[in-house]
Structure 1
Amino acid sequence: MSTGSRATWHFGRLARRSRGGRGGRSAASTGSAGRATSRSTASTDSESDSPPEQALITLGRAGFAARGLVYLVVGWIALMIALDHRANEADRTGALELIAGKPFGLVVLWFLVVGFAGMALWRAMMGLRPNLPDKEGAGSRLASAGKAVLYTVAAYTTARFALTGHASGSTNQQSTDFTSGLMQHTGGRWLVGAVGAGFVIGGALFVKRGLQKRFAKELRTGSLSASGRRRVLALGMVGNVARGVVAAGAGVFLIDAAITFDPARARGVDGTLRALASAPLGPVLLVLMALGLAAFGAYSFCEARWRRL
């Protein structure tokens, strides 16, 4: 190889190496910039909520905790019924009465008031804001608005109980009064039957949600270990199935009341659970339901910690 050829070959190698080095440095620089942008975006996302929105989210988390406490107490009452002990009504009214009789019960009751009110405000926000993730559909926003109304009622009745010591009546009485009132109007039986069918369908959806673990997409559990995540999902699955079974059972009683034209046959949560106790293998079924409702209470605490809000 001549001297000129060798010089040309060495120059070509140096040029290629120089281009490669610049490309590597450029790629590294781009990667660093991408990581910096990602970190900046994450930081911006975490700080994007205004102070009022952050306060509302905190109230929403308190609402999930309040719901969890009520379901834990209802599960305990259902267990006492299964074991043939004298117990309060296995519903929210019975839970409030049981809580009120304990030390610091009044403090807990006012925590429930704040939690339910916070949940109502958060649900209302979910219903009014069309730009929230996974909440673009009108049906989803309408469901959130309906839940806001229910939690507003829960906050009001709990506050009234804390102030006066008088409950608004068990869910059994409320179901009977509701059914009786509707049946006094033309087509009332059909309306009661339609409401009962709605409860059955809603209960079936809860069961499906639990079995298919659809609730998992609402959780942010990246900080949990694999075993911790499995436990949270197990609580959610069992809890949603139990909640769905109770709702469907209450719906069946409403349909029965419509068919027989007998408002007294309507049942709330307490009546549905007590009906299980009188069925074959009733105590065993009721124990399972009690554990399931308690599981939903525990899962509600998990939502208070890890739910995407």
Structure 2
Amino acid sequence: MVRPLVRLRRLVKEGRSDAPGRVVDALGRIGLVGYGVVHLVVAWLALQVAFGQPDAPPDAEGAVGTIARTPGGVLALVVAALGLLAFAVWQVSAAAVGFRWVSGNERVRKRVGAVAKAIAMTSLALVVVNYLAGMRSSGNTTAQQAAAGVLALPAGRALLGLAAIVVLSIAVAMTYTGVRRTFMGDLDVGRLSPGVKHAIEVVGVVGHLARAFALGVVGVLAGAAALYADPAQAGGLDAALRALGSTVAGAWLLGTVAAGFAAFGLFCLADAATRRA
């Protein structure tokens, strides 16, 4: 166990980031670009829902399908899937030996966050792979099927309630990241002009808060499914955004969240160019 960690530390120390080698670093940055593009497309789809002209569900699978239908889209998705998996490996490496510039609780928090990023990137890569393999499904249906499966277990309502609490906790953590701007510490922006750094910070704050808000709605839907023992109450990002669109604020609220997702997509592009962790 010790020897692999020593080798991993050596690989990380030799590179420009916490990625274990230049190939993983390069592919991981491509994956970040793909992650950003998916968020930009989700923002566009959410705007279409807001104005009553839905073309595809405003979630990851809807975005992947939209990209696949563009010229060269399938090839781009293949490359993006490889990049997303490489970034997941990068984050596992960072969780193991990275974040050398901080210590104590801050390092622990960042390493836990890196594990969460690895899970998120792997999940999106699986969405891409499943789509390319022809295994398409509605994100809401999948969420409802998962909720139904949990509710069928002993103490299923408690387990689903616990899952809702976990999702809401992640949303709170995202909110903390956005408000405190801790994401800037993971970027190498020392050589950038103050204006560019401020722009990255602004889109990062807006993007993290928008994602936290949407994920919070997903958590609330899961909590409602647990409370009423009704899996139909559960739903993924598509259901969360449509729920926002059905409120009194309706299109304006959904448009605001869509703008936040677009901001996060732009942040991912800057993240790909400057990330060190």
Number of residues paired by the alignment?
263
| Segment of structure 1 superposing worse, 209-218 or 237-246 | 209-218
Q: Secondary structure at the match of 2:189?
A: coil
| Structure 1 residue corresponding to 2:234, chosen from 256, 266, 269 | 266
Tell me if structure 1 keeps the 8 A contact 2:61–2:131.
Answer: no
Q: Is residue 2:192 matched to residue 1:224? A: yes
| Structure 2 residue corresponding to 1:157, chosen from 111, 122, 127 | 127
Equivalent-residue separation in structure 2 for 1:145 and 1:240 (angstroms) = 17
Structure 2: runs of 5 or more not aligned: 1-11
Equivalent-residue separation in structure 2 for 1:295 and 1:130 (angstroms) = 27
Which residue of structure 2 lines up, in the alignment, with residue 184 of structure 1? Answer: 152
Tell me if structure 2 keeps the 8 A contact 1:59–1:122.
Answer: no
Q: Is residue 2:82 matched to residue 1:108? A: no
TM-score normalised to structure 1 length: 0.78
Which residue of structure 2 lines up, in the alignment, with residue 49 of structure 1? Answer: 15
Tell me if structure 1 keeps the 8 A contact 2:36–2:268.
Answer: yes
Q: Secondary structure at the match of 1:256?
A: helix
Q: Is residue 2:183 matched to residue 1:215? A: yes
Q: Is residue 2:141 matched to residue 1:173? A: yes
Q: Shift of the alpha carbon at 1:295? A: 0.5
User: Structure 1 vs Structure 2: percent identity of aligned residues?
Assistant: 29
Residue 139 of structure 2 aligns to which amino acid in structure 1?
T
Equivalent-residue separation in structure 1 for 2:208 and 2:57 (angstroms) = 21
- Change in Cα spacing, 1:269 to 1:131, as seen in structure 2 (3 Å) is closer
Equivalent-residue separation in structure 1 for 2:255 and 2:27 (angstroms) = 33
How is 1:1-309 mapped onto 2 (pairs within 5 angstroms)? Answer: 48-49=14-15, 53-129=21-97, 132-134=100-102, 140-162=110-132, 164-167=133-136, 169-309=137-277
Equivalent-residue separation in structure 2 for 1:189 and 1:138 (angstroms) = 31
Q: Shift of the alpha carbon at 1:224? A: 1.7
Q: Shift of the alpha carbon at 1:130? A: 6.2
Q: Shift of the alpha carbon at 1:160? A: 3.4
* Structure having the higher Rg: 1
Q: Shift of the alpha carbon at 1:87? A: 2.0
Q: Shift of the alpha carbon at 1:157? A: 3.4
Residue 118 of structure 2 aligns to which amino acid in structure 1?
A
- Change in Cα spacing, 1:129 to 1:97, as seen in structure 2 (3 Å) is same
Q: Shift of the alpha carbon at 1:47? A: 8.2
- Change in Cα spacing, 1:75 to 1:203, as seen in structure 2 (3 Å) is same
Which residue of structure 2 lines up, in the alignment, with residue 3 of structure 1? Answer: none
| Segment of structure 1 superposing worse, 279-288 or 141-150 | 141-150
Deviations 1:277-299 (Å, cap 9, x if unpaired)? 11001100000000000100110
Q: Shift of the alpha carbon at 1:138? A: 5.4
RMSD after superposition: 2.4
- Change in Cα spacing, 1:135 to 1:191, as seen in structure 2 (3 Å) is farther
Q: Shift of the alpha carbon at 1:107? A: 1.7
Q: Secondary structure at the match of 2:148?
A: helix
Q: Secondary structure at the match of 1:279?
A: coil
Tell me if structure 2 keeps the 8 A contact 1:135–1:141.
Answer: no
Residue 165 of structure 1 aligns to which amino acid in structure 2?
G
Q: Secondary structure at the match of 2:21?
A: helix
Q: Which has the higher contact order (CA 8 A, sep 6+)?
A: 2
